[in-house]
Amino acid sequence: MGEKGDIMKICENPRPLEIKFEIPQSLQKAIDDFLEYLRTDDTQSLEDCYRTEIDCELRWCLREDKISREQYQLLKDYYVHRGIYCITG
């Protein structure tokens, strides 16, 4: 990712990942809730809870064939594995 000593932080005004496929409403709500939380809470003390919720929704969507494995990985990399973060030095 970044160099040693770089700091990962949420970008100002985090944006949803631009996708060209539909996702179930429950997953969309989890993502929207996470983004709203990141925009309004400076402490980000509940961030892990929101990421866990998205991860659970993603696994359900994959298991129920609501999204493909590629879509699952794309969304997981961004929202769960912190692709939404900026690296600052």
47-70 pLDDT tens trace: 899 999 999 999 999 999 999 999
* Domain extent at residue 65: 7-88
Q: Provide Rg for the chain, Cα atoms.
A: 13
Residue 37 sits at the vertex; the CA angle it makes with 34 and 41, to the nearest 5 degrees, is 150
Q: Does residue 43 belong to any structural domain of this protein?
A: yes
pLDDT > 70? residue 82: yes
What is the total count of domains within the chain?
1
Question: What pLDDT shows up at residue 20?
Answer: 96
Per DSSP, the three-state class of 65 is coil
- pTM of this prediction? 0.82
3-43 pLDDT tens trace: 554 555 666 678 899 999 999 999 999 999 999 998 887 77
Q: Does residue 77 belong to any structural domain of this protein?
A: yes
Q: Does residue 79 belong to any structural domain of this protein?
A: yes
Q: Does residue 26 belong to any structural domain of this protein?
A: yes
Q: Does residue 28 belong to any structural domain of this protein?
A: yes
pLDDT > 50? residue 1: no
Nearest to 50 by CA among 29, 68, 65: 29
